[in-house]
Amino acid sequence: MKSHFTLLPSPVGELLLTTDGKALTGLYFENDDVSRAQASRADDHPIFKTTAKQLKEYFTGKRTEFDVPLNPTGTEFQISVWRALSDIPYGQTISYGEQAKRIGKPTGSRAVGTANGRNPISIIVPCHRVIGANGSLTGYGGGLERKEMLLALESKQSALPIQ
């Protein structure tokens, strides 16, 4: 299946979006090491237009849930971890240990952290909502500054300026 990509400016830096033509398969930050070699650029793809609209609404504080079709690629365990991320309500956080309990792996917080770090659809699959057991901001592929910005947005401390 042919894959497509586009680049999207955002308040948290340029985002790389990927699709398999039917669903969003990736949302990566500019510092993520993602190959575009097998993808063609398709800025006008309907999946990208929908995603861009919903992200703009999210960054301006007008959207708390996304309904873009998603198709992340990963192991069965990773998919279960990422599915659980989507169950964390907007504006709330949980610990890695709590997320591990929610997927039935109460001693699997490290494995959950590793799977969260491989989440291919940042922001929409909200791995930024998972924090350390002591409340600290730990481990975020997009960088702790971005994690802090997203959590501040969701706690209604500020909307992020649209570029």
Collapse the DSSP code of 36 into the 3-class scheme (helix H, G, I; strand E, B; otherwise coil) and give the result.
coil
Using N-to-C axis directions, what is the helix angle for 109-117 and 76-85, rounded to 10°?
90
**Most distant pair of Cα atoms in the chain: their distance:** 44
CA angle 10, 12, 17 (to 5 degrees): 55
Residue type, 46: P
Q: Select which of 55, 127, 131, 149 is catalytic.
A: 127
Annotated catalytic residue 127: yes
The DSSP line for 136-163 is: -----TT-HHHHHHHHHHHTTS-PPPP-
What are the residue numbers of the active site?
A: 127
